[in-house]
Structure 1
Amino acid sequence: MAVPSKFVLYSYWRSSCSWRVRSVLELKKIPYEYRAINLIKGEQYGEEFRHINPLSQVPTLQFQTSDGRNEILNESMAIIDYLEQTFPTPSIYPKDPIERAKVIAISETIVSGIQPIQNLGVMRKIEELTGSKDKSVEWSREWIRKKFQLLETMLKSMSGQYTFGNQLTLADICLVPQIANAIKFQIDMNEFPLLKRLNEFLLTIDSIQKAHPSNQPDKQ
């Protein structure tokens, strides 16, 4: 299969969704150009970027196919799925279909059940409705803590050196950015010793560290 080329990732350094995609690009050693979209300044709503992604969200992956077509993908999980299908080694899934499903379940618990609650647009809307930024932050903390309690229990029977067993998987790639969000919201990770232990180990992994917000060109 001919390999696509000229990957361009539209990203924001603190975006946990973008961090997921950066981690996979780094893990699979896929060269790409980084283009920063400042979400705080509202650059995602600019005409130029909205032409690329009408959803006004990062990450967005732009690339050229082997037959010369220009393609654009958005939503981190869709981008990651494409990268996994196109660059299957190293894989971010176990070979066993049941274990693969469990990895997806962990990942979805994070990307669907926790992360959207800290989305900038959601938090601004809560602040607008309550008239209080503190209430918006309190809302996010409450849901992170509840879901982390569930994850802590779930992973006791699944984790090994990594979040699922002893292989780096999509679950790890999703977990680390979410814990970074939790720490940003001043969640005490000592409440979740298993998640804390996993995070400390995963932050030593080269691909995750290269994708870390602190190592991005638009870090502020």
Structure 2
Amino acid sequence: MMATPSKFVLYNYWRSSCSWRVRAVLELKKIPYEYRAINLVKGEQYGKEFQQINPISQVPTLQFQTSDGRTEILYESMAIIDYLEQTFPTPSIYPNDPIERAKVIAIAETIVSGIQPIQNLVVMKKIEEITGSKDQSVEWSREWIRKKFQMLETMLKSMSGTHTFGDHLTLADFCLVPQVANAIKFKVDMNEFPLLKRLNEFLLTTESIAKARPDNQPDKM
């Protein structure tokens, strides 16, 4: 029998797109949690205290207690989301049909593996170090987001309805919205991507995604 979890603590950063995904799923599933801010810009993720919690020094990190007395810690947004889906299956973030479920996962992976890492803080700092220019680092990220969005726009034309996949909220939505926010931050012209723009504007009105928005977090700077 699976141990029942409780006392969720989410270590995250208000502007982290990975954290936004997890916050939105927690909101959708009405799972109460304690918000603990880790300031990535100040390097708090590398502090001794946090590294004892998460040795890979990344957010989001989910800590919780189990009914058999264990303290568990999970890393990586997609692993955390998968655990939450398995443990709190209603409402589900996947379609019932296994083929449709696989397509939702493909959309999500296209974003979280193929786009989002390009503009990670550590990646951008390395590019700035190599080029000697922060502007070059920003331009590099902007250009790659544009190229990947061109592919994603084409990919979604045959899959999207009111939502990123079909007409219901899925994992794909929780991945798309934070990535569009990153694109806007890097001054990508979203008018080039009318489908992504429409989906994003609609999804931002969704309660779970709206509550999890960076601007609504206590550590917003």
Q: TM-score range by the shorter chain?
A: over 0.9
SS in structure 1 opposite 2:11? strand
- Distance apart, 1:197 and its partner CA: 0.3
Residue 34 (structure 2) pairs with residue 5 (structure 1): no
Query: Aligned-residue CA RMSD in angstroms?
Result: 0.7
> CA-to-partner distance for each residue in 1:134-161, whole Å, 9 max, x for gaps?
1111110111000100010010000000
Alignment-derived partner of residue 100 in structure 2: 99
- The equivalences for 1:75-86 within 5 A come to 75-86=76-87
- Structure 2 counterpart of 1:44, one-letter code: Q
Residue 163 (structure 2) pairs with residue 159 (structure 1): no
Alignment-derived partner of residue 121 in structure 1: 122
Whole-angstrom CA distance in 1 between matches of 2:115 and 2:172: 13
Alignment-derived partner of residue 112 in structure 1: 113
- Structure 2 counterpart of 1:159, one-letter code: S
* Gap regions ≥5 residues in structure 1: none
Residue 44 (structure 2) pairs with residue 43 (structure 1): yes
Residue 212 (structure 2) pairs with residue 211 (structure 1): yes
Alignment-derived partner of residue 151 in structure 2: 150
Alignment-derived partner of residue 198 in structure 2: 197
Alignment-derived partner of residue 135 in structure 2: 134
Whole-angstrom CA distance in 1 between matches of 2:35 and 2:15: 14
Whole-angstrom CA distance in 2 between matches of 1:3 and 1:72: 14
TM-score where L is the length of structure 1 = 0.99
- Structure 1 counterpart of 2:40, one-letter code: L
Alignment-derived partner of residue 52 in structure 1: 53
Structure 1 consecutive aligned stretches of length 4 or more whose deviation exceeds 3 Å? none
Aligned-pair identity in percent equals 86
SS in structure 2 opposite 1:218? coil
Whole-angstrom CA distance in 2 between matches of 1:182 and 1:24: 21
> CA-to-partner distance for each residue in 1:116-139, whole Å, 9 max, x for gaps?
011000000000011111111111
* Gap regions ≥5 residues in structure 2: none
SS in structure 1 opposite 2:218? coil
SS in structure 2 opposite 1:62? strand
Whole-angstrom CA distance in 2 between matches of 1:123 and 1:65: 38
SS in structure 2 opposite 1:29? coil
Residues paired across the two proteins, number: 220
Whole-angstrom CA distance in 1 between matches of 2:18 and 2:35: 15
Alignment-derived partner of residue 18 in structure 2: 17
- Structure 2 counterpart of 1:206, one-letter code: E
- Distance apart, 1:68 and its partner CA: 1.2
Whole-angstrom CA distance in 1 between matches of 2:174 and 2:212: 10
- Structure 2 counterpart of 1:20, one-letter code: R
